[in-house]
Structure 1
């Protein structure tokens, strides 16, 4: 049995749902289709929880299942047969899936952490790191000094480092 309780299932769902949707989107180029695929993976996993034997870990299982379900969806809708074959070829090695899974999870952790920054720090950090504005452009746009922008970026990086380190240690303890 994969899950000993509904709470355990819920934790896995909450941790992996968004990264899996982003991963599925890569295959189907539709947010709705990606969500449908991930929901179907979770429903099937719950329904077959007593029969599934996961050998390589829940993360690998979920990302591999999502990949397979996405390819199945593409095949069913007869979209770009060449694309499917190319993606199948690219995705053959399981370590590639593992690396991609880690990348999607890391992006999700980073986004969660950025949303936890103090509002002004978050705004300045996003303008700099996500939108690519220079410190001078941010200072001008927000009517601040360049030094204030520098301080907020430094503060944001320090807070993010702490949050991501804590998340990593929490994940290692699971």
Structure 2
């Protein structure tokens, strides 16, 4: 039974992460087919090692780091084979700088995923208010006009939604309150 549970978690992780990881690898290697191969290799390796992996733990940062490492290894071998080093220093510097942003990107993806999970728990009307205001950037008056409700209703509901969302995310230790305030206030 545990094998079936691992397969379902693996399958869900694959569906949620595959396209994002391809785009991430593509940023480094600039070859979409090769990026697909790298991501598939990472998932294959994950599945091969499934006996030693805790599928209940967060695996997205592991996947991003693995894709990053394989992409960098590819670039390193590509440059070593061709012996063309013009501009390589700048490119390597950019890649090393990108490594620092891996954790940030993973955190933002986790944040986005958790916000989506939260939004699925609230009423359709409140989800629409939040989406129009925070994701589409409409002003409270525009939201009120679009939904045929009062501005006070929009303000009140947004205030409650954001308060609940902050508590929801704080329970998951995703971001400090100051960063959270910047992202969703």
Question: TM tier, shorter chain?
Answer: 0.5 to 0.7
Matched residue of 1:161: which SS?
A: helix
Matched, 1:18 2:16: yes
Partner of 1:63: 64
Rounded Cα–Cα distance in structure 1 between residues aligned with 2:114 and 2:36: 19
Quick check: 38-47 or 147-156, which moved more? Answer: 38-47
- 2:131 counterpart of 1:126: yes
Range that drifts further, 112-121 or 28-37: 28-37
| Secondary structure in 2 matching 1:144 | coil
The verdict on how the C-alpha distance between 1:37 and 1:13 changes in structure 2, with shifts beyond 3 A counting, is: farther
Q: 1:72-128 CA deviation, whole Å, 9 max, x = no partner?
A: 78899xxxx8996465232355xx433332222122212222233210000010110
Give the match for residue 172 of structure 1: none
Deviation at 1:24, TM superposition (A): 3.9
Residue deviations 1:45-66, cap 9 Å, x none? 11244689xxxx9554321112
Q: Residues 146, 71 of structure 1: CA spacing in aligned structure 2 closer, same or farther, 3 A cutoff?
A: same
CA contact (8 A) 1:20 1:66 kept: no
Comparing 142-151 with 112-121, greater Cα deviation is found at 112-121
Q: Indicate yes or no: 2:46 matched with 1:45.
A: yes
Residues 92 and 165 of structure 1, relative CA distance in 2, 3 Å threshold: closer
CA offset at residue 17 of structure 1?
5.5
* TM-score normalised by structure 2 residue count: 0.61
Distance 1:104 1:67, change over 3 A: same
Unpaired runs of 5+ residues, structure 1, are 170-174
Match of 2:181 in 1: none
C-alpha deviation, 1:130, in angstroms: 0.8
Instruction: Tell me which residue corresponds to 1:109.
Output: 114
| Residues 1:98 and 2:103 are matched in the alignment | yes
CA RMSD of aligned residues (A): 4.1
Q: 1:83 to 1:141 in 2, by over 3 A?
A: farther
User: Conserved in 2, the CA contact under 8 Å of 1:75 and 1:84?
Assistant: no
Q: Which has the higher contact order (CA 8 A, sep 6+)?
A: 1
User: Is 2:142 aligned against 1:137?
Assistant: yes
Task: Report how many residues are paired.
Answer: 159
What is the alpha-carbon distance in structure 2 between the residues aligned to residue 65 and residue 39 of structure 1?
Answer: 11
Structure with bigger gyration radius: 2
